[in-house]
Amino acid sequence: MPSRSEISYFGAGPAALPTSVLETASAAILNHENSGVGLIEQSHRSANSINIITSACEHLRNLLNIPEGYSVLWMQGGGTTQFAAVVYNLVGHWVQTQLDANNGDLEAVKKALGSARADYLVTGSWSKKAAEEAARITGGAGKLTRVAVNAKAATGKFGAIPPESQWELTPAENSIFSYYCDNETVDGVEFPAFPAALEGRLVACDMSSNILSRRVDVSKYAILYAGAQKNVGGAGVTLVVVKDEVLKKQASEEALRALGLPVPPIMLYYPTLTGAGSLYNTLPIFDVFICREVMAGLLARGGLEVQEKVAAQKAALLYGALGRAGGFYKVVPEKSVRSRMNICFRIEAGEEVEKAFLEGAEAKGLTGLKGHRSVGGLRISNYNSVLVEAAEKLAAWIEEFAKERK
């Protein structure tokens, strides 16, 4: 049986965690801070637990340089639960904004609803699921939500982001919000930067698979969220950064019902959860603890300015090795939108050769390289926990295998 140090794991999530964090967590499970009680056993409302949440929030604020006027929230349910939470909270915010502008006139707001839409940029599997969930909640596609970008339309598969000139955004005055997924884990597509076309709009963003890998201008977003299990921690907790204006300005249940709009479940209603300091119910404190320790390590190594350079260095190593193989490998996405986090590729010689590639890689301790079940192929998940040395080892195998098979 191999030791942990002999394995380089490139799985898409749950992803690898720093060994030092796991060692600290292992001790905390048995006896947290000499309390005689394991961290998993402690009350989520104890002083220890509240300190963990508070310090985790501070670490995130420091790493992302979160400005005043934003709240940090820890939730359960993974990123997928946020597909619904985003809709409930931003529709509620839009309704109250309209009521304020129309002196509480519900009929005027009802009329505005006729042309108001939330725009979804569908650039991969996860944004597609988010758009489908939004349509399901609001009464069907086109009623309150619409697909403003369908990156699959032209080719029948994901792997590109159309030029912004081709986006069919709702006019700004009728826009409820705009939504996109910053990095698509299944399809290997990543937005190079914040879309210029969304400047000045209310924007929600799924950053589950590239959060804390580069610097972000939080002020451009109304909501950003991330499931922890890629770059921050383990599965079981989701971080949410939400603009305070969204929290403070929410329509009442009575107004939403009068307009025929859905009322948010209490566990998806951000104002309730932030008002309770993320402790409206029993939050998995151990998962937040893991996130805190991972973020403390990032801060100690120089924060996101350093991590951004490391992520780019590793991605360049891996894409460079694939490119030097003279066409033996085919990188799936277009070059301009290739993800730094999820490097998706195929071997032109076919699935049997891909299987041989995986077997050879595992023999060298390079694991977790199989593509998502929905698309097949091969995928390198180059998250923050992947060391440069591991990327170098994998790059060497990529080149070695291509030479052997040519």
Q: What is the mean pLDDT of the chain?
A: 96
The end-to-end CA distance of the chain, in Å, is 32
Which of the four CATH numbers 3.50.50.60, 3.30.70.141, 3.30.479.30, 3.90.1150.10 does domain 303-405 have?
A: 3.90.1150.10
Mapped onto helix, strand or coil, the DSSP state of residue 179 is strand
**pLDDT band at residue 47, thresholds of 50, 70 and 90?**
very high
Taking the C-alpha atoms of residue 23 and residue 27, their distance in angstroms, rounded to an integer, is 7
CB within 8 Å of 282: residues ≥ 6 apart? 44
Taking the C-alpha atoms of residue 289 and residue 320, their distance in angstroms, rounded to an integer, is 36
Q: Is the pLDDT of residue 100 over 90?
A: yes
- CA 367 from chain centre, in angstroms, equals 23
Taking the C-alpha atoms of residue 73 and residue 86, their distance in angstroms, rounded to an integer, is 13
Contact criterion met (CB below 8 Å) for 379 and 322:
no
**pLDDT tens for each residue of 259-270:** 999 999 999 999
Q: How many CB atoms lie within 10 A of CB 289?
A: 27
Query: Phi then psi for 112, rounded to 5 degrees?
Result: -65, -30
**Beta-sheet pairing, 342-347 with 378-381:** antiparallel
* pTM exceeds 0.85, yes or no: yes
Q: Is the pLDDT of residue 406 over 90?
A: no
**pLDDT tens for each residue of 114-150:** 999 999 999 999 999 999 999 999 987 778 999 999 9
Q: Please give the single-letter amino acid code of residue 85.
A: A
Looking at residue 299, what is its pLDDT? Answer: 98
Lookup result for tokens 């947290």: 32
Q: How many CB atoms lie within 10 A of CB 37?
A: 15
Taking the C-alpha atoms of residue 168 and residue 85, their distance in angstroms, rounded to an integer, is 24
Lookup result for tokens 């033996």: 328
Looking at residue 367, what is its pLDDT? Answer: 97
Taking the C-alpha atoms of residue 223 and residue 118, their distance in angstroms, rounded to an integer, is 14
Beta strands in 3-83 (DSSP E): 8-9, 70-75
**Cβ density class 396-405: b for 16+ within 10 Å, e for less:** ebbbebbeee
Q: Is the pLDDT of residue 1 over 80?
A: no
Domains 48-296 and 303-405 share a fold: no
Looking at residue 120, what is its pLDDT? Answer: 98
Lookup result for tokens 């009322």: 263
Lookup result for tokens 């440069």: 388
Mapped onto helix, strand or coil, the DSSP state of residue 48 is helix
Q: Is the pLDDT of residue 271 over 90?
A: yes
Q: Is the pLDDT higher at 265 or at 374?
A: 265
SS3 of the chain: helix, strand, coil, percent, to 5: 45, 15, 40
| Domain residue ranges in the chain | 48-296, 303-405
Taking the C-alpha atoms of residue 97 and residue 207, their distance in angstroms, rounded to an integer, is 26
Name which of 299, 326, 298 is nearest 398 in CA terms: 326
**pLDDT band at residue 155, thresholds of 50, 70 and 90?**
confident
Taking the C-alpha atoms of residue 367 and residue 147, their distance in angstroms, rounded to an integer, is 36
Catalytic machinery residues = 126, 206, 230
Neighbouring C-alpha atoms within 13 Å toward the C-beta of 226: 26
Taking the C-alpha atoms of residue 322 and residue 398, their distance in angstroms, rounded to an integer, is 7
Which of the four CATH numbers 3.40.50.720, 3.40.640.10, 2.60.40.1180, 2.40.30.10 does domain 48-296 have?
A: 3.40.640.10
Q: Which tokens go with 241?
A: 């950064």
Radius of gyration from C-alpha coordinates of the chain: 22
